[in-house]
Structure 1
Amino acid sequence: MDVQSVIACNNRSSKTSSHKEAQVMTAVPTSSSLLLACVLIFSACSLPSSSVGSQAVSVASLFPSSLCSSSSSDNAVNNRKSTLSVIHRFGPCNRGSSSKDRQNHAQLLRQDDERVSSIQSKLSGIAGDQSLASSNVRIPAKSGSTFAIGNYVVTIGLGNPKKDLNVLFDTGSDLTWTQCRPCAGFCYNQTDQVFDPSQSSSYANVSCSSTTCSQIRSGTSAAPGCAGSACVYGVKYGDGSFTVGLFATERLTLSPAEVIENFQFGCGQNNRGLFGRVAGLIGLGRDRISLVEQTASKYGRYFSYCLPSLSSSLGHLSFGNSGGSSAFTPMITLSDPSFYGINLVGISVGGNKLSIPQTIFSNAGTVIDSGTTITRLPQTAYKALQAAFRQGMKNYTMVPAVSPFDTCYDFSKYDEVSIPKVMFTFGGGLNVDLDPTGILYVLSRAQVCLAFAGNADDRSVGIYGNTQQKTFEVTYDVAGGRIGFGPNGCQ
């Protein structure tokens, strides 16, 4: 059995009961028995479809609960000593989120557009000059650093005694930082108490004259500066958000059994922007100051995560190789080596491979990114996906578009719908069938959209976003130069 078959089979076996019942229903060969199956599962019947390239989906299963629910990730967190729970920044599992945040799709999608622009600008090399004036610790006026807003949050411990902090994790950033007292410039409001280095016995500033200080340039927006003898860092993100402060070392606690001493991080004294109420960010990029590189001797530059299908469920972030059933594709190095590149070579819709020249994907390459919500494709590839998906959904009513989406439907009259399967093919023959929640972005029952967008042309880098990564164990074997996808990582 090939990788595609294994992943598809395992995906089908891992769905919730509503998904399983829907899949059984679509296998019934006659219209009369199809109707009977619909009655037996007490749901309104979807429009009939006998195509093996379609899947029946309960509309209710596309919506998160108002309460935080456990998932298969609980076992992963309990069984792996170097594993953190992952929660959605605007879901009910995050104690710092609000109902207003969860409902503000327009703002979230605008921020996603800004992140995409930031990534594409950085990879195109048009970010501009960057400098840090050490005399008054100013942030540079221009920056190509990736927009810092992400969707997923983990809790880490910092200091001795340990203080728990809610932070974003981001494969598109390198520096780990948190807000620090005394907030000599400005600190935005956060849920946790702001970290106070004076209360930790393990905190130490990095010297301005040290080699470590001189090395932070590549993982931040600016050359290091000095505040007395202390090393100063500065990061300005693509949306104008920034953090400036002291570059320091501290004890980092991932779990009771996993403590990293002398971890290098940014102790932010002046921080502004759209960071929500999180305390900071963990950088999982490829630069020397990222968490991945700083723990290379401990975890072998190996980490994985699973993003849950719904914002009301839990996922996980793990460090080190604990085995698993992932199938791999080669990792690609792009013009900015901090990003993780992946070799996308084809897309299938409804069981049929789309006629897209491979050169369309290889023109600028593709980034896999934990912080981008919606996958961005070269214009030619997106138009082919859009046309095939619309053909497969021709029996459903389209509704007006909402940026960045242009293919949306009204599901308000259905308890169950039949949607085309979407499969991505990566280098090395790796085929990945997307979860239904990785195909559709739900604004409301009356506005459910194809969860992809097209770049303005075929020359801008593509971005494989976190919506399409849902439910998979996404593995980064940085030392081995490969990225893997394993089925049933979480639900």
Structure 2
Amino acid sequence: MANSLLISLLQIYLLFLSFSTCALGLAKFYVVDLHDLTSKNVCSPPKDMEKIKSVKPTLKIVDRQGPCSTLHPAEKLSPEQILSNDQSRVDSIHHRVSAIAGKGTTSGPLSPSQITAQSGFSYGLGNYIVHVGIGTPSKTLTLEFDTGSDVTWIQCKPCQTYCYKQQEPIFDPSQSSTFMNVSCNSTPCNDVSGNFCEGSSCLYGVKYGDQSYTVGYYAEDTLTLTPDMIQKFRFGCGQNNKGIGDFGEVAGLLGLGPSSESFVSQTSDKYQRVFAYCLPALSSSTGYLNFGSNSDISNTNHIPITKRPNSGPYYYITMTGLSVAGDTLPISSAVFSNAGTIIDSGTTITQLPPDAYQALRSAFMKHMTQYKMVPGSSTLDTCYDFTGVDNMTIPSVSIQFENNVSLDLVHQGILFGTSRSQLCLAFAGNSDPNDIGIFGNVQQRTFNVVYDIPKGEIGFSPDAC
């Protein structure tokens, strides 16, 4: 009887530890139930988010491949495909940032015959989707949201060249009483990517680094974010759209980058260029995306948005260090400052300068010697087989930023994978120390991440979804 009681108490203690960190000396570790690292087959109810219920509008965020998604592609992407697409996006971001900095070349405005030669960033089949309404009457569409993109676009009839299969009916401009084409040579037309003219109508063209592209009319219509209605919102009305996996059956993309044609800038009068999101811990959970000056919540640490000339569709931040199990790693801050860092909701895996990644990898491996290492992929090279393990102990990982802000990652932000037989350290090293670092979405999980553009800062508060 005493033994049974002791075992029960031990189980309760381990369950408690699976949701918290424990201190072993000065070191910090997570004792994790393996079930907390793998997604369920059913959609979990959202966390009670009293802190954001007053915020309007609030869009539900879901993982496009999880059970909460309304998308049902014929085949889901494997972890290898997700990582391959992610690496394509990373390579393209590196190329574009290098070009913006004057280390390469970029194309000018597009003509219709040049669209296949335009170089942008990789679409990459980003992880997270939201639902918005377009037109009058409003038609609900599923869009990927992306802080690393500026132009919002959807597929539109009559699809003069090619439209891929999407979940909802393709938007028909003729059925909306508020649809209008943007005029050629207008300021909005001159601002949009790849602009050119067809008669008096403005056309746009965006080609991503993975060879995905969208071309069509630049238009305006009513955008509905329940309960708000945004009049004369400008977006790309795609007539020729092609991408990896045909963009995973989404209807298009919601661009939350910093430029003048992005959603954030177009709605500045209403939402003051402030928005926030929380990415769920697992693909079987939900998060949120909301807009407005009341998007911030308590217990928030803020870091500056670094100002850069010609920054493109990116938000730059300053990473300063890393710690593992409570110990700060011996990495010079110059390793981070020389390359710089952006935060990106569309990149999955955080990319570090090579010296920083090697220091992180070595420190992490030192605390994981009790587990069997297995081969990884070209992207993730520090992987473990936890077959037969119910509760594992992993070191905590923290990322330091400017203003002495330290983010303690949740355990779902440390390991990446879909099976016990291969869970990997969810970081990667850039091949070139001068390549930009990227703070990816796995490490952002469960934080309320608030972008306050007028104040020039991004805030993080833990345990938000």
**1:253 offset after TM fit, Å?**
0.4
Relative to structure 1, the CA distance from residue 440 to residue 422 in structure 2 (aligned partners, 3 Å threshold; closer, same or farther) is: same
The question of 1:441 aligning with 2:416 is answered yes
Within-5 A mapping of 1:68-467: 68-72=43-47, 79-98=54-73, 100-101=75-76, 104-125=78-99, 128-131=105-108, 134=111, 136=112, 138-216=114-192, 220=193, 222=194, 224-255=195-226, 257-274=227-244, 275-322=247-294, 323-325=296-298, 326-334=300-308, 336-337=310-311, 338-467=313-442
**1:35 offset after TM fit, Å?**
6.6
- The answer on whether the counterparts of 1:380 and 1:457 sit within 8 Å (CA) in structure 2 is no
Q: Counterpart amino acid of 1:95?
A: T
Looking at structure 1, the residues matched to 88 and 142 of structure 2 have their Cα atoms a distance apart, in angstroms, of 23
Deviations for 1:47-88, whole angstroms, at most 9, x for unmatched residues?
Answer: x99354111010011111111122126657754221100010
Q: Counterpart amino acid of 2:410?
A: D
Partner SS state of residue 403, structure 2: coil
Identity %: 46
Query: Unaligned 5+ residue runs, structure 2?
Result: none
Partner SS state of residue 402, structure 1: coil
Looking at structure 2, the residues matched to 112 and 96 of structure 1 have their Cα atoms a distance apart, in angstroms, of 20
Partner SS state of residue 468, structure 1: coil
Looking at structure 2, the residues matched to 379 and 93 of structure 1 have their Cα atoms a distance apart, in angstroms, of 36
**1:258 offset after TM fit, Å?**
0.8
**1:40 offset after TM fit, Å?**
4.8
**1:421 offset after TM fit, Å?**
0.4
Looking at structure 2, the residues matched to 166 and 145 of structure 1 have their Cα atoms a distance apart, in angstroms, of 21
Looking at structure 2, the residues matched to 424 and 91 of structure 1 have their Cα atoms a distance apart, in angstroms, of 27
Partner SS state of residue 75, structure 2: helix
- The answer on whether the counterparts of 1:203 and 1:249 sit within 8 Å (CA) in structure 2 is yes
**Corresponding residue number in structure 2 for 1:9:** none
Looking at structure 2, the residues matched to 449 and 34 of structure 1 have their Cα atoms a distance apart, in angstroms, of 34
Looking at structure 2, the residues matched to 259 and 36 of structure 1 have their Cα atoms a distance apart, in angstroms, of 55
**1:166 offset after TM fit, Å?**
0.1
Q: Counterpart amino acid of 1:238?
A: G
- The answer on whether the counterparts of 1:399 and 1:410 sit within 8 Å (CA) in structure 2 is yes
**1:129 offset after TM fit, Å?**
3.8
Looking at structure 2, the residues matched to 36 and 461 of structure 1 have their Cα atoms a distance apart, in angstroms, of 50
**1:226 offset after TM fit, Å?**
1.2
- The answer on whether the counterparts of 1:333 and 1:339 sit within 8 Å (CA) in structure 2 is no
Relative to structure 1, the CA distance from residue 73 to residue 88 in structure 2 (aligned partners, 3 Å threshold; closer, same or farther) is: farther
- The answer on whether the counterparts of 1:127 and 1:142 sit within 8 Å (CA) in structure 2 is no
Looking at structure 2, the residues matched to 72 and 124 of structure 1 have their Cα atoms a distance apart, in angstroms, of 41
Looking at structure 2, the residues matched to 351 and 35 of structure 1 have their Cα atoms a distance apart, in angstroms, of 30
Greater CA drift, 205-214 or 109-118: 205-214
Relative to structure 1, the CA distance from residue 123 to residue 133 in structure 2 (aligned partners, 3 Å threshold; closer, same or farther) is: closer
Relative to structure 1, the CA distance from residue 74 to residue 190 in structure 2 (aligned partners, 3 Å threshold; closer, same or farther) is: farther
- The answer on whether the counterparts of 1:233 and 1:245 sit within 8 Å (CA) in structure 2 is yes
Looking at structure 1, the residues matched to 125 and 417 of structure 2 have their Cα atoms a distance apart, in angstroms, of 20
Relative to structure 1, the CA distance from residue 154 to residue 211 in structure 2 (aligned partners, 3 Å threshold; closer, same or farther) is: same
- The answer on whether the counterparts of 1:286 and 1:292 sit within 8 Å (CA) in structure 2 is yes
Looking at structure 1, the residues matched to 423 and 347 of structure 2 have their Cα atoms a distance apart, in angstroms, of 19
Greater CA drift, 330-339 or 227-236: 330-339
**1:209 offset after TM fit, Å?**
2.9
Q: Counterpart amino acid of 1:293?
A: S
Partner SS state of residue 139, structure 1: helix
**1:140 offset after TM fit, Å?**
4.6
Deviations for 1:221-265, whole angstroms, at most 9, x for unmatched residues?
Answer: x2x11122100000000100000000011100011x211100010
Deviations for 1:156-197, whole angstroms, at most 9, x for unmatched residues?
Answer: 000000000000000000000000000001001100110000
Within-5 A mapping of 1:13-24: none
**1:334 offset after TM fit, Å?**
3.9
Looking at structure 2, the residues matched to 42 and 424 of structure 1 have their Cα atoms a distance apart, in angstroms, of 26
Looking at structure 2, the residues matched to 73 and 301 of structure 1 have their Cα atoms a distance apart, in angstroms, of 26
Looking at structure 2, the residues matched to 277 and 108 of structure 1 have their Cα atoms a distance apart, in angstroms, of 16
Looking at structure 2, the residues matched to 232 and 425 of structure 1 have their Cα atoms a distance apart, in angstroms, of 43
**Corresponding residue number in structure 2 for 1:23:** none
**Aligned residue-pair number:** 449
**1:457 offset after TM fit, Å?**
2.8
- The answer on whether the counterparts of 1:137 and 1:232 sit within 8 Å (CA) in structure 2 is no
- The answer on whether the counterparts of 2:39 and 2:418 sit within 8 Å (CA) in structure 1 is no
Deviations for 1:126-166, whole angstroms, at most 9, x for unmatched residues?
Answer: 563424554x4651503133435211000000000000000
- The answer on whether the counterparts of 1:208 and 1:226 sit within 8 Å (CA) in structure 2 is yes
CA RMSD after TM alignment: 2.2
- The answer on whether the counterparts of 1:187 and 1:272 sit within 8 Å (CA) in structure 2 is yes
Partner SS state of residue 236, structure 2: strand
Relative to structure 1, the CA distance from residue 41 to residue 426 in structure 2 (aligned partners, 3 Å threshold; closer, same or farther) is: closer
- The answer on whether the counterparts of 2:372 and 2:385 sit within 8 Å (CA) in structure 1 is yes
Deviations for 1:323-368, whole angstroms, at most 9, x for unmatched residues?
Answer: 4122101111345423101110010100100000000000020010
Q: Counterpart amino acid of 2:81?
A: Q
Partner SS state of residue 118, structure 1: helix
Partner SS state of residue 32, structure 2: strand
**TM-score (normalised: structure 2):** 0.92
Partner SS state of residue 469, structure 1: coil
Q: Counterpart amino acid of 2:91?
A: S
**1:42 offset after TM fit, Å?**
8.6
